[in-house]
Structure 1
Amino acid sequence: MEQTRPERRQGQAVVRGRLVPTSTHDQRLLARQGSSDWVHMDPWRVLRIQAEFVEGFGQLAELPPAVTVFGSARTREDSPDYQTGRKLGRALAEAGYAVITGGGPGVMESANRGACDVDGSVSVGLGIELPFEQSMNDYVELGIEFRYFFVRKTMFVKYSCGFIALPGGFGTLDELFEALTLVQTHKVTSFPVVLMGSEFWGGLLDWIKSTLLDTGKIAAKDLDLITVTDDVDEAVRIILDADRARSQQREEELEAAAAQIAEPQ
C-alpha cells in the first residue's frame, strides 16, 4: 500500500511531501532567533500578518449576526457531545445566526453540520495551520485558513455576538478564557459566554468559585459572565436576549444623542 504523503495547509496554499516545513508560521514568529536575524525577518512577517487580517475582514464583513461554537476536535460522531453540537448548530441557524467554528472535526464539524441542516443558513470555518494536519470539515460553506492564531482569534471575536463552548481541551479553554477576559475588561460588551455541559464544566466552575473568587482574584460579579446549561434552547435564548439588550441600548443611545442635538443652545 502506498504511504500517504504528509500534507499541510498554509493560508491559501497546500504543501505536500518534502515541501512540508518542520515548523509553523506561529512557531517561527515566536522563536527567539540567534544574532540579529529577527531584524531582517520580522518586518516582512508584518506584511503577511496584515494580509491575513485584510483577507479575513474582506471575507467575513457581510456575514449576518453570528455565534461561535467551540469544542473538541476529538469528539466522535457517535458521542452525545457531537449530537448536542449538531442540535445547537441547527437551533442557532433557525434563530437567524451564522454558525462559526474552528472548521475542524469533532464538535466543530457537528455545529457546522447542524447549521447546514437549515436552508439558507451560513456555516463558517476559521481554520489554523497546525504541526499535525487538521482539514476543514465537509460542512463548512465559507472556510478561511489562517497562519497566525492571534489573527484567527480576532476574527472569532469581531464577527460573533456570543460564544458557546461545548466540552473541549486546551484550545477550547484558551478561547473560553480569552473571551471572558475581553468581557471582564470591557474590550467587548454585551457578549454572552455559554458553557454547555454542566457535568463537564462543573469542576472548573467549582474551582473558579472556591479558588479564584475566595482568594479575591476575581469579583463576585465576574461569575455572571458565564452561564452553564445543558439545554440547547436555553443557550440560544441567552444569545437572543443579549442581542435584544444590545439593540435596545443602541436605540436609547441614539435617542439620547438626537435629543441633545435638538436642545436649543
Structure 2
Amino acid sequence: MRANRRERRQGQAVVRGNLVPESTHDQRLLARQGSSDWVHMDPWRVLRIQAEFVEGFGQLAELPRAVTVFGSARTPEETPDYETGRKLGIALAQAGFAVITGGGPGVMEAANRGATEVDGGVSVGLGIELPFEQRMNDYVDLGIEFRYFFVRKTMFVKYSCGFIALPGGFGTLDELFESLTLVQTRKVTSFPVVLMGSEFWGGLLEWIKSQLAGTGKIAPQDLDLIKVTDDVDEAVKIITDSELHRSRQLDEEREAARAQVGEPQ
C-alpha cells in the first residue's frame, strides 16, 4: 500500500485514499442538522443496523463462555500493563473462557495474544469504525467489524459472563460505566465487573465512594458491584466463582420448576 494513504474498515469493506469519508456512520446517524433527507435515509440505516445485529448474533452464538477485557489501545508492548493483559488472556483461556476484546492494539492485543498461547484458547475481537483507523490485531481468531457503537456494545454484553477492565481512557470508562449501569439497574443478569490495577483505579474509586455513595447518588451496596485486584489469578477466580454461583442458581430454579410441575393441581 502507498505510504501515508488513509484506510478505514466499514463493516466488511475496506476503503482507502479519497474514498474514506470525512464522518463515520455513527456521526451521520446521530446528526440532527441539515436538510430533510434524513426522512428518506434513516429507514435504510435501520436495515443496515439490523444486518449488523444479525451478523454479530450469527458469528458469536456458538462461542464458549466468554469474558470481555477492556483497556487502552495506546499501551505499548514493553509496559507492565501489556504484560498483565497477556497473562490475563492466558489465565482466562486456561480456565475455559473465550477472550473478547475490542480487537485493537495495546491491552486488547495483549489479552487476545495471551488467549492464543493456550491450546484450544479462543480469541475474539469486536472492532469499530473510527475516524482514525485501528486495524484488527494479529492475535484475533474471530474478528467482526461494526459500524455502530451500540450494536458492538450489545455483543459485548450478550456474549460475556464477566468484564475485566485494565487501565484505559475514555473508551474503557464508557464501557466500564455502561456495564455497571446495566448490572445496577438489573437490565442484565448480574455479572462481575473487575478492575485490575489498584493504583490506576484508586482515585476513581475514592471519588465514587465519597461523591456518589457519600452523597446518596448511589446506594452503599452498589459499591459491591466493583471488584478491584492487582492479581491475575484473583481476577479469574472472581469470574469463575460467579459462574459457579450462577450455575447453582440455575440448577435450583430448574429443580423448583420441575417440582412445581409435579405437584397436583
> What range describes the TM-score normalised by the shorter chain of this pair?
over 0.9
Measured after TM superposition, the shift of residue 190 of structure 1 is: 2.8
Measured after TM superposition, the shift of residue 264 of structure 1 is: 1.0
Measured after TM superposition, the shift of residue 38 of structure 1 is: 1.4
SS of structure 2 residue aligned to 1:126 = strand
TM-score (norm: length of structure 2):
0.99
**Equivalences for 1:114-193 in 2 at 5 Å?**
114-193=114-193
Runs of 5+ consecutive residues of structure 2 not aligned to the other structure: none
* 2:19 aligned partner, one-letter code: L
Q: Is the 8 A contact 1:190 1:242 kept in 2?
A: no
In structure 2, distance between residues paired with 1:74 and 1:191: 27
In structure 2, distance between residues paired with 1:190 and 1:249: 12
Measured after TM superposition, the shift of residue 54 of structure 1 is: 0.3
In structure 2, distance between residues paired with 1:188 and 1:80: 33
Tell me the residue number matched to 2:15.
Answer: 15
**Equivalences for 1:245-260 in 2 at 5 Å?**
245-260=245-260
Tell me the residue number matched to 1:85.
Answer: 85
In structure 1, distance between residues paired with 2:35 and 2:130: 27
Whether 2:48 is the aligned partner of 1:51: answer no
Tell me the residue number matched to 1:5.
Answer: 5
Tell me the residue number matched to 2:96.
Answer: 96
**Equivalences for 1:188-227 in 2 at 5 Å?**
188-227=188-227
- Report sequence identity in percent: 84
Tell me the residue number matched to 1:68.
Answer: 68
In structure 1, distance between residues paired with 2:11 and 2:91: 31
Measured after TM superposition, the shift of residue 58 of structure 1 is: 0.3
SS of structure 2 residue aligned to 1:189 = coil
Root-mean-square deviation (CA), in Å? 0.7
In structure 2, distance between residues paired with 1:43 and 1:108: 34
In structure 1, distance between residues paired with 2:35 and 2:71: 41
In structure 1, distance between residues paired with 2:186 and 2:30: 28
* 2:195 aligned partner, one-letter code: L
Measured after TM superposition, the shift of residue 260 of structure 1 is: 0.6
Measured after TM superposition, the shift of residue 188 of structure 1 is: 1.3
SS of structure 1 residue aligned to 2:112 = helix
In structure 2, distance between residues paired with 1:49 and 1:203: 38
* 2:112 aligned partner, one-letter code: N
Tell me the residue number matched to 1:243.
Answer: 243
In structure 2, distance between residues paired with 1:35 and 1:98: 46
* 2:144 aligned partner, one-letter code: I
Measured after TM superposition, the shift of residue 4 of structure 1 is: 2.3
Aligned length: 264
- Could you give the per-residue CA deviations for residues 159-203 of structure 1, whole angstroms, max 9, x where no partner exists? 000000000000000000000000000111230000000000000
In structure 2, distance between residues paired with 1:3 and 1:116: 31
* 2:160 aligned partner, one-letter code: S
* 1:152 aligned partner, one-letter code: R
SS of structure 2 residue aligned to 1:195 = strand
Q: Is the 8 A contact 1:190 1:246 kept in 2?
A: no
Runs of 5+ consecutive residues of structure 1 not aligned to the other structure: none
Q: Is the 8 A contact 1:192 1:239 kept in 2?
A: yes
SS of structure 2 residue aligned to 1:264 = coil
Measured after TM superposition, the shift of residue 216 of structure 1 is: 0.4
- Could you give the per-residue CA deviations for residues 197-252 of structure 1, whole angstroms, max 9, x where no partner exists? 00000000000000001110000000000000000000000000110111011011
Moved over 2 A (4+): none
Tell me the residue number matched to 2:33.
Answer: 33
In structure 2, distance between residues paired with 1:138 and 1:205: 34
* 1:244 aligned partner, one-letter code: L
TM-score (norm: length of structure 1):
0.99
